[in-house]
Amino acid sequence: MFPDFLPPAVRNLTEPTSIALAQNLYVTDITTPLSPQPIPTAAVRQGTGDPPILLLHGFDSSVFEFRRLLPLLATDRETLAVDLLGFGFTDRLTVSAIACDTIKTHLYEFWKTEITRPMVLVGASMGGAAAIDFTLTYPEAVDRLILIGSAGIAKGPIVGKFLVPPFDYFAADFLRRPQVRKSISQTAYYDKTLNSADAQLCAALHLAMPGWHRATIAFTKSGGYGSFRDRLHQIQQQTLILWGRNDRILGTRDAAQFEKAIDRSQLIWIDNSGHVPHLEKPQVTVQHILDFVK
Write out the catalytic residue numbers: 125, 247, 275
Contact 98, 222 (CB under 8 A): yes
Cα–chain-centroid distance for residue 48?
22
* Angstrom distances, CA of residue 290 to CA of 9, 65, 233, 287: 34, 19, 24, 5
* Sheet bearing 39-46, strands edge to edge: 26-30, 39-46, 79-82, 53-56, 119-124, 142-148, 239-244, 265-270
Q: Using the CB atoms, write b or e for 32-45: b if 16+ within 10 Å.
A: bebbeeebbbbbbb
- Cβ–Cβ under 8 Å, residues 131 and 56: yes
φ/ψ (deg, to 5) at 99 = -150, 175
CA dist., res. 28 & res. 145, Å (int): 25
Q: Please enumerate in sequence order all residues whose Cβ is within 8 A of that of 38, keeping only pairs 6 or more positions apart, or say none.
A: 29, 30, 31, 32, 94
DSSP conformational letter for 243: E
